[in-house]
């Protein structure tokens, strides 16, 4: 299932489904949020002028858009994310950081579960099914952001180079 503007889609989708079904909570979160981060970076890049140096902006020491938090802030400031999507991305970032830096962190911890439920409720405008486990709730929360970003990517095109009106 090749997705325009996201050639690695199949790899990411296979990985997140593998982690959802058989992996650890930590792996599911890291892969899922990496998907969101990657798509947000692609969306930002697609809204830059043709020829913008993606490598300089998004990777390496001192890259101004290297951190997920910075990508979220810039995307929101440019109108590429709604307020709710910004809040959901920021919550996904917090969950990812918790899972990456806290020993023994799981999706079933009270704080992490409530964060995933918050994203779910904001996105789907309803409470999760009571029979859904933490992994499913997190997976669905991530999925709604992935779908939103893919929809934006489909419409995105490189911006025209700005003109000064001075003919230069």
pLDDT, tens digit, 9 for 90 and up, residues 60-90:
888 899 899 999 999 999 999 999 999 999 9
Range of the domain at 50: 9-155
Overall average pLDDT of the 100-118 stretch? 90
Asked if residue 42 is part of any domain, the answer here is yes
Asked if residue 166 is part of any domain, the answer here is no
Closest by Cα among 97, 90, 79 to 43:
79
Q: Tell me the average pLDDT of the chain.
A: 86
Asked if residue 38 is part of any domain, the answer here is yes
Asked if residue 2 is part of any domain, the answer here is no
Query: Positive or negative, the Cα torsion across 1, 34, 141, 112?
Result: positive
Number of domains observed in the structure of the chain:
1
- State the Cα–Cα distance between residues 101 and 76, nearest whole angstrom: 26
Burial 102-119 (b: 16+ CB within 10 A, else e): eeebbbebeebbebbbeb
pLDDT score recorded for residue 46: 86
Q: Tens of pLDDT along 23-61?
A: 899 999 999 999 999 999 989 988 888 777 877 888 888
- State the Cα–Cα distance between residues 157 and 154, nearest whole angstrom: 8
């Amino acid at each position: 299932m090749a997705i325009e503007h996201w050639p690695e889609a199949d790899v990411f989708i296979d990985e997140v489904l593998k982690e959802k079904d058989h992996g650890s909570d930590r792996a599911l979160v890291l892969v899922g949020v990496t998907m969101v981060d990657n798509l947000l970076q692609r969306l930002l890049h697609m809204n830059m002028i043709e020829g913008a140096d993606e490598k300089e902006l998004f990777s390496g020491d001192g890259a101004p858009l290297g951190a997920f938090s910075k990508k979220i802030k810039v995307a929101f400031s440019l109108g590429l994310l709604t307020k709710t999507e910004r809040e959901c991305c920021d919550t996904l970032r917090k969950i990812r950081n918790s899972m990456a830096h806290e020993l023994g962190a799981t999706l079933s911890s009270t704080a992490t579960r409530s964060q995933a439920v918050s994203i779910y409720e904001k996105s789907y405008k309803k409470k999760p099914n009571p029979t859904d486990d933490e992994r499913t709730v997190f997976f669905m929360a991530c999925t709604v952001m992935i779908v939103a970003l893919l929809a934006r990517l489909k419409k995105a095109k490189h911006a025209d180079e700005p003109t000064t009106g001075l003919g230069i």
